[in-house]
A and B are shown apart, each in its own frame.
Chain A
């Protein structure tokens, strides 16, 4: 079945450091790929998405590129802020759309001033 593997945390970075959170997936066909973020005490929020190969999703300075050849969707940000501290989830949804999101286990990011 479909699955998502993302790097384990926690990840601790200093403010303004470069962030990469790795995500790889296994799926039949060509799924849509997502990054969700969960801030402390809040619900999951969609951060960005990409629906086909080579698409780049971006939002709030974060970006991720859908790489079919490596089945990856790594999340990057050039300069993190303390306010980026949260848990980040990579997820996929099969092509048909009316299927559940399949999530990775999440990566906790802590940014220190």
Chain B
């Protein structure tokens, strides 16, 4: 069974530029999470989807971050414009809605904003 797929794996951009990250969850997993992991820290949730509905986006900085999960499968996280402080690893995870305690993580996208 394929795991959670994320792309790109690495991204370097200049500040004020836009950037987008893509995630394909494990087949059949209807819950999808985006986390941000700053250097030397644990991951922190940005947004959680159940199917195509964002059920928890309280930690998403909505002035510059946006996310979508069309058709309840793949998801895209966008930052526009990026700031220096956005440099981090962006992790996608998925789980079954009736097993939220078991989340499967992708390898992450490492973003560097110059």
Contacts and interface: CB of A to CB of B under 8 A. Distances in A.
Interface of A: 4, 32, 34, 36, 41-46, 49, 51, 89, 91, 93, 97-101, 103-106
9 contacts: A42-B107, A43-B106, A46-B103, A93-B101, A97-B100, A100-B33, A103-B42, A103-B44, A104-B42
B101 A51 contact: yes
Interface of B: 3-4, 33, 40-45, 48, 55-56, 91, 93, 100-108
Contacts of B43: 44, 89, 101, 103
A101 B95 CA distance: 12
B10 to A, nearest CB: 11
A36 to B, nearest CB: 8
A89 B105 CA distance: 13
Nearest to B98: A97
**Most interface-central of B56, B100, B101, B103 (chain A CB within 10 A):** B101
Contact of A100 (B3, B56, B104, B107): B56
Nearest to A90: B42
Given A89-B42, A103-B44, A44 B91 contact: yes
